[in-house]
Structure 1
Amino acid sequence: MSRRILLLAGSSRADSQSAKVAHYLAGRLQALGASAEVLDLGATPLPLWPAEQPCLAWQTMAEHLRTAEALVVISPEWQGMASPALKNLFVYAGRAELAHKPALLVGVSAGQGGAYPLSELRASSYKNCRICFIPEQLIVRQVEQVLNAAQAADEADERIRSRADWALQVLLHYAEALQGLAGKIEWRFASGM
């Protein structure tokens, strides 16, 4: 059975490296037999929460989040932090959209960084929405030099491609194991603590 995976490209910039990584990973998920869709926050930004009026962009995103069986959350590193666009999305998203869905965290860095945004997201984005970040994660360092063509350019490019395939396979196993869990849980404690 094909799993529906939503990839969140977390940069607010148009044509970002995060979106490039998201599209590459979507192609790999499709090669693994999954259905993959990219939601690019640079192409479809959300107003800063709380929005004054009902937000059509959020209503559309919320529907995509609700129907996804698992997520890939891709965050660029901005000054050692997760992107504001991605953190804003997690302010909007709640249990109805994300509860008990497995998610793979992917960090993107132009240099040797990328780990801090993932730690930040693990620490602060799951509490009320109940997203389940899996233990595995992927960090794409020197992002401008990798994942640019159909074939790997060098050993570093081949290594990240191999690691990405493995992490995506792990995510698909989690999606199968956690299928339907949110519908089996009675919600008694709203704020997660």
Structure 2
Amino acid sequence: MLKIAILSGSSRPDSQSSKVAAYLQQQLQQRGEQVCVLDLAVTPLPLWPAGPAEHWPAMQAQLAEADALVVIAPEWHGMACPAVKNFFLYASKAELAHKPALLVGVSSGVGGAYPISELRASGYKNCRLCYLPEHLIIRQVEQVLNAGAALEGSDQRIRARIDYALDILCQYGGALAPVRANISFANPDFANGM
């Protein structure tokens, strides 16, 4: 059994990102995985380095125990939302280095790709997170992944794609565990990424 952390990156209460996180949690639990959801709307982190982050120690412990991560990044005006970017100022290699991560873009329209691109470019540098070559984009999010709704074309397709991507994440989670165990983080000369 793997331990998987899901980061719901929206700072809005009852967001569509939270709905997506709940669906992914359910799918992973059905596979027998242990899952925790870190919802930045419920447990916000203050802007770095504004002051003490009361929720960070609990998040930090859950991330350190996780074998893999899912990063749900809603698209706000063509960018990853500020809460997700701020999260990566807190998270370091101690919690995330050499762990696989599945990126999930969320859009109320037909977008959702820009947060994926932005996080692939800058959301791994100092924490050394390993983004999978596979990612998900949940477009028209209000119309899909709704509990009790009749499954139609786009909803069926995204659910099948989610299952496929989660399987890949779990395979990487198991495969990278021995890699992490054999890498030393003790060298202070290379504390940050290039």
Bin the TM-score by the shorter chain.
over 0.9
Please tell me whether the aligned partners of residues 109 and 141 of structure 1 are also in contact (alpha carbons under 8 angstroms): yes
Please tell me whether the aligned partners of residues 146 and 152 of structure 1 are also in contact (alpha carbons under 8 angstroms): no
Shift of residue 151, structure 1, vs aligned partner: 5.5
**C-alpha separation in 1, matches of 2:120 and 2:169:** 16
Q: Partner of 1:169 in structure 2?
A: 167
Shift of residue 112, structure 1, vs aligned partner: 0.3
**C-alpha separation in 1, matches of 2:139 and 2:29:** 23
**C-alpha separation in 1, matches of 2:87 and 2:21:** 17
Query: Is 1:155 equivalent to 2:153 in the alignment?
Result: yes
Identity score, percent = 60
**C-alpha separation in 1, matches of 2:31 and 2:149:** 17
Q: Partner of 1:96 in structure 2?
A: 94
Q: Partner of 2:82 in structure 1?
A: 84
Query: Is 1:121 equivalent to 2:122 in the alignment?
Result: no
Question: What is the aligned length?
Answer: 191
Secondary structure of the 1:56 match is coil
Q: Partner of 2:192 in structure 1?
A: 191
**C-alpha separation in 1, matches of 2:82 and 2:62:** 20
Larger deviation, residues 176-185 vs 91-100: 176-185
1:5-154 matches, cutoff 5 A: 5-53=4-52, 55-150=53-148, 152-154=150-152
TM-score after normalising by structure 1: 0.95
Cα displacement string for residues 77-98 of structure 1 (whole angstroms, at most 9, x for unaligned residues): 0010001001100001101010
Structure 1 outlier segments of 4+, above 4 Å = none
Please tell me whether the aligned partners of residues 77 and 116 of structure 1 are also in contact (alpha carbons under 8 angstroms): yes
Secondary structure of the 2:110 match is coil
The one-letter code of the counterpart of 1:146 is V
**C-alpha separation in 2, matches of 1:8 and 1:139:** 15
Aligned-residue RMSD, C-alpha: 1.1
Secondary structure of the 2:71 match is strand
Q: Partner of 1:4 in structure 2?
A: 3
Please tell me whether the aligned partners of residues 62 and 93 of structure 1 are also in contact (alpha carbons under 8 angstroms): yes
The one-letter code of the counterpart of 2:174 is E
Stretches of structure 2 lacking an aligned partner (at least 5 in a row): none
Secondary structure of the 1:71 match is strand
